Amino acid sequence: MRSPAIAIAWQVWSRHRLGLQASLAGLAVMILAYPLILPRLDHQVGLVAGAILPAILFSYVGNLLIFSDEVGSLTSGYPRHMFTLPIPSRMLAFWPMSLAVATMTAIWCIVSLLAFRRCGFDAPVILPAIGGGLLIAWFQVVSWLPVAGVVTPYLAVGGAWLFVGAPFLLRANDTLSDATVSALGLAAFPLLYLAGCFAVRHARRGDRWELGVDRMAGELIRLRERHLSRSRGFGSPREAQLWFDESCQSGFVLGLLTIQNLIVTLFALFSDRGNAFAPQVALAVILSAPMILSASLAGTISRWSPIWVKRRDGIAFLAVRPMPSEVLISTKYRIARRLMWKSWAIAAVFAAALILGRRDAGLDASLAAAFQRALPGWKGCVAVVLGVPLVLVVQWKLITDNLVPAFTGRRWIADGMVFVSTALILGAVAVAVWCAKRPEIIPAVLAVTAWGASVLAAIRVAVAAVALRIALGRGFLSRRGAARMTVAWALAAAATVCLAVVFLPGGMPFVPRPVLVAAPLCVLPIARFGLAPLALDWNRHR
């Protein structure tokens, strides 16, 4: 290679040639197809539907251009093999950052000018391009800093708020003009480059800034051990693995939930006493936080190494341990169950503190009145008795959704599931907006949804049956464990059917009553029970 820039660009292209070619194809599809399709749709529907491909494209390309030791991981650090190259550290920081900023900026300019604006959408060009460049540059700096991995997510979120969130709010409130925000954003690029040089230089020297995190984590673990009066010995490998996973992963999620609820509660407690809206919003945020956090941070429990370790792969160590795959999987399931009830305990504590601290807002009375209006009489009792356990089951499902793709050890499978989920969510939002604009199509959409959910539930049951049969035949799963999973799913299915019979309407056009009742079964977890041991064995013996 004639220059470091070409060498670094070729390294990214050669390792991810197929993905980048698919990204270029998606960009071409947006340029050619969007002007033909989106103008025929409603304005808001077209905007949401058109955002699906750009969201996937930016997520994929952004993960590649972070330029970390492990692709897309903010905790893995700068690629260590690059430190041996005979070029100064400032070049090791300059070219990856320049490549990332230029690529993200160019992609947005192409999408906005050649796709969205040709469809009649007044898509801004300058501010989003600068914001995307600042965001990818900050993520690179965070990834390259030689700090403990547990600090990295907080730095990433704080920087995202500083470089994107705060300017957006200031611009939305007309506090700053577009020119001022753009000038501030452009002035931040040299500072980020200097921070990148600083990070690469210290990482190249082998520095590691503890920042007291490891000591703090050790003290918290010892404090917990003293509080629980637990000896150092473990009765079984399952117990040891459970203690390890709980110490390494769930504490981070619960700590983040506690900090978020604390900030929201303090905001509501110190808000204007005449404003009853702030406490209501805060209570809604606190009560919805366990479900939202379970969906957004579920990938944390799929890690095999502690959250503060730079690299996420630990399967090489676990593969040689004298422990069957069923034990490793069951510990993850138990961690998900403990994370579930602990998150609701934290939410209950903060909700009670908010209700007691803002007695003037009458949160308890309004909440009880809203519940009685929505579910009067015996229906409220049925909703509590059957609905609360099902909410916990759905939350457990959200926490464990990423386990099977992560167990395979194939990054393209795990990332592919994330992209598919993103596309489905954005597609559902587009359909919802479309239905809001055209209420006459709601019955047809509901009919298609009910039939699709019922078919999906049947497919998942069939896949689970086949996977369980294979796992039992190969000895990856005990008959007792399979029976417990089957009974648990049957009980959850019975509760779901009862709620569907009570609360769903008596009939819908083109949808028989049995199909309508069976549709909610698609939200229950079942296929992962058989697929998880097969995926983990595939990973351990590759």
For the chain, the domain total comes to: 2
Do residues 281 and 275 lie in contact, with contact meaning Cβ atoms separated by under 8 Å? no
Model confidence band, residue 427 (pLDDT cutoffs 50, 70, 90): confident
On the question of pLDDT at 187 being above 80, the answer is yes
Q: Percent of the chain, pLDDT > 70?
A: 83
Model confidence band, residue 88 (pLDDT cutoffs 50, 70, 90): confident
Place of tokens 């000896």: 231
Cα separation, 56 vs 494, in Å, equals 37
On the question of pLDDT at 463 being above 70, the answer is yes
Domain membership flag for residue 225 = no
Highest-scoring range by mean pLDDT, 101-105, 120-124, 206-210: 101-105
Do residues 132 and 185 lie in contact, with contact meaning Cβ atoms separated by under 8 Å? no
Domain boundary residue among 176, 194, 211? 211
Question: Bridge-partner residues for 209, per DSSP?
Answer: 147
Domain membership flag for residue 39 = yes
Tens of pLDDT, residue by residue over 26-75, are: 888 888 888 888 787 777 667 777 777 888 888 888 888 888 877 767 77
Do residues 530 and 329 lie in contact, with contact meaning Cβ atoms separated by under 8 Å? no
Domain membership flag for residue 395 = no
Q: What is the DSSP letter of 165?
A: I
Q: What is the DSSP letter of 508?
A: B
Model confidence band, residue 219 (pLDDT cutoffs 50, 70, 90): low
C-beta atoms surrounding 408 within 10 Å: 19
Q: Percent of the chain, pLDDT > 90?
A: 3
| Residue 363: closest CA among 374, 350, 375 | 350
Mean pLDDT of 373-393: 84
On the question of pLDDT at 299 being above 80, the answer is no
Counts for the chain of helices (H) and strands (E), in that order: 24, 0
Domain boundary residue among 163, 180, 211? 211
C-beta atoms surrounding 250 within 10 Å: 20
192-206, 263-277, 378-392, 482-496: least confident range: 263-277
Highest-scoring range by mean pLDDT, 187-196, 243-252, 350-359, 514-523: 187-196
Do residues 181 and 171 lie in contact, with contact meaning Cβ atoms separated by under 8 Å? yes
Contacts 24+ apart (CB under 8 A), 239-247: 241/323, 241/327, 241/328, 241/331, 242/331, 242/334, 242/335, 245/301, 245/331, 245/332, 245/335, 246/335, 246/338, 247/221, 247/306
C-beta atoms surrounding 231 within 10 Å: 8
205-209, 223-227, 350-354, 389-393: least confident range: 223-227
286-290, 292-296, 394-398: least confident range: 292-296
* DSSP three-state, residue 3: coil
Do residues 111 and 55 lie in contact, with contact meaning Cβ atoms separated by under 8 Å? no
On the question of pLDDT at 234 being above 80, the answer is no
Q: What is the mean pLDDT of the chain?
A: 79
Q: Show Cβ contacts of residue 216 under 8 Å, excluding neighbours closer than 6 positions.
A: none
On the question of pLDDT at 391 being above 70, the answer is yes
* DSSP three-state, residue 405: helix
Cα 526 to Cα 361, 378, 395, 434: the distances in Å are 43, 30, 14, 32
Tens of pLDDT, residue by residue over 73-83, are: 777 778 888 88
Do residues 294 and 343 lie in contact, with contact meaning Cβ atoms separated by under 8 Å? yes
State residue 151's pLDDT score. Answer: 67
Domain membership flag for residue 373 = no
Cα separation, 28 vs 47, in Å, equals 18
Domain membership flag for residue 241 = no
* DSSP three-state, residue 164: helix
Copy the structure tokens of residue 334: 């138990």
| Residue 432: closest CA among 419, 445, 451 | 445
On the question of pLDDT at 306 being above 70, the answer is no
Model confidence band, residue 105 (pLDDT cutoffs 50, 70, 90): very high
Do residues 426 and 48 lie in contact, with contact meaning Cβ atoms separated by under 8 Å? yes
Domain membership flag for residue 92 = yes
Residues belonging to the chain = 542
Model confidence band, residue 331 (pLDDT cutoffs 50, 70, 90): confident
Tens of pLDDT, residue by residue over 109-156, are: 998 888 888 888 888 888 888 888 888 888 888 888 887 666 666 677
Mean pLDDT of 474-481: 84
Cα separation, 108 vs 98, in Å, equals 16
Copy the structure tokens of residue 187: 């002035």
Domain membership flag for residue 333 = no
* DSSP three-state, residue 75: coil
Q: What is the DSSP letter of 511?
A: B
Sign of CA dihedral 65, 67, 68, 69: positive
199-208, 288-297, 392-401: least confident range: 288-297
Range of the domain at 2: 1-211
Domain membership flag for residue 150 = yes
Mean pLDDT of 345-364: 84
Model confidence band, residue 462 (pLDDT cutoffs 50, 70, 90): very high
State residue 466's pLDDT score. Answer: 92
Domain boundary residue among 189, 211, 233? 211
State residue 75's pLDDT score. Answer: 72
On the question of pLDDT at 216 being above 80, the answer is no
On the question of pLDDT at 445 being above 60, the answer is yes
175-184, 476-485, 492-501: least confident range: 175-184
